[in-house]
Amino acid sequence: MARNTSSPGIAAGPSPRVAPEIRRPIALNLLISLRPGQWTKNLLVFAGVLFGQKLLDPRALGRAVAAFAIFCGLSGVVYLINDIMDREGDRKHPHKLHRPIASGAVSIRAALTLASVIAAGSVGAAFALGWRFAAVAIVYVALLGLYSGLLKHIVIIDVLTVSFGFVLRAAAGAVAVDVEISRWLFVCTILLALFMALAKRRHELILLAETATSHRRILGEYSPYLLDQMISVVTASTLIAYIFYTISPETQVKFGTEWLGLTIPFPLYGIFRYLYLVHRREGGGSPAELLITDRPLLLCVALWGIAVVLLIYRPF
């Protein structure tokens, strides 16, 4: 009769793999849930101080930095709420399932507590910059909160809402330093944001394929062809709006230069590069990450910023 030589105290078979997010400290998981990598989107608040010709004003620059910090806090609150609402769908996504809230590394109670604390602190700080800035900040949180719960499930309205979130960032930056931004810049902002939002939807459809609707039902209302048509319209509109902005008499009088049109090649290359990454490299899932990781795109944005500063402020 054969004898069992296995030791009773040793389990037969490999031990189950523990997800890395479960092993991380709770404080680190909470920080990750705030998505600090996405805070580059809040750089739009500096558009007011840049195009309002107050970049060299220490007080205005300080207020812009404060506005940036406040919106980093508010956007973190929005991401926490969004991850709580989407936790079931995120668990069916190949990448989002590792988010701390979706994986269970961060409890809903902990996420809500952190969101409440940051929201209260950020709104309080916003009032310190003035009631007008605070009003824009509150509208931003309310709009993106509605997006997380309802608007993200309505076709076309979902991407438009995301785009308006970027416009509110730009508006908040202008209000913070008490300047008026050209209406052209608001148009360019919403179009560029819409371009990235549509590209993100396309990326999700291609990545998830047949399982797209199980992750997010609204994806069933889109198709790659439809999104490509929308992206084509928005791409052309964005470039035309920026070109008209740079060569308009209003802009030339405001900045005292006729040469802002020299910056046109940068958005041309940047948008075409982004489309290349979306269609040939299957990028676009995270615009903020794409901007940081793709060196040609990052260099293009940096050179555009330098060119704009040199033409508007003429330090030579």
For the stretch 67-114, pLDDT in tens is 999 999 999 999 999 999 888 887 877 778 888 898 888 899 999 999
Contact 167, 187 (CB under 8 A): no
Contact 100, 33 (CB under 8 A): yes
For the stretch 23-38, pLDDT in tens is 778 889 889 889 888 8
30: helix, strand or coil: helix
The residue with tokens 């998505």 is: 35
pLDDT-derived band at 315 (thresholds 50, 70, 90) equals low
pLDDT-derived band at 187 (thresholds 50, 70, 90) equals very high
pTM given for the model: 0.86
pLDDT the model gives residue 211 = 72
Is the pLDDT reported for residue 286 higher than 80? no
pLDDT the model gives residue 206 = 84
Nearest C-alpha neighbor of 163 from the set 183, 143, 135: 143
Is the pLDDT reported for residue 198 higher than 90? yes
Contact 181, 195 (CB under 8 A): no
Q: For residues 277-300, give the mean pLDDT.
A: 83
pLDDT-derived band at 300 (thresholds 50, 70, 90) equals very high
Nearest C-alpha neighbor of 115 from the set 77, 85, 141: 77
The larger pLDDT score, comparing residue 155 to residue 316, is at: 155
Instruction: Classify residue 59 by burial, with Cβ atoms within 10 Å: 0-12, 13-18, 19+.
Output: exposed
pLDDT the model gives residue 289 = 80
pLDDT-derived band at 18 (thresholds 50, 70, 90) equals low
> What ranges make up the beta strands (E) of 173-214?
none
Name the class of domain 25-180.
mainly alpha
For the stretch 216-255, pLDDT in tens is 788 888 888 999 999 999 999 999 999 999 999 989 898 9
For residue 77, which amino acid is it? Answer: V
Contact 47, 115 (CB under 8 A): no
pLDDT-derived band at 184 (thresholds 50, 70, 90) equals confident
Q: For residues 280-293, give the mean pLDDT.
A: 76
What span, in angstroms and rounded, lies between the C-alpha atoms of 256 and 213? 52
The three-state DSSP-derived secondary structure of 212-265 is HHHHCHHHHHCCHHHHHHHHHHHHHHHHHHHHHHHHCHHHHHHHCCCCHHHHCH
What span, in angstroms and rounded, lies between the C-alpha atoms of 272 and 59? 37
Nearest C-alpha neighbor of 125 from the set 209, 65, 204: 65
Q: CA triplet 71, 75, 76: central angle to 5 degrees?
A: 115
pLDDT the model gives residue 175 = 94
What span, in angstroms and rounded, lies between the C-alpha atoms of 192 and 176? 22
pLDDT the model gives residue 161 = 94
pLDDT the model gives residue 146 = 92
Contact 112, 145 (CB under 8 A): no
For the stretch 131-177, pLDDT in tens is 999 999 999 999 999 998 889 889 999 999 999 999 999 999 999 99
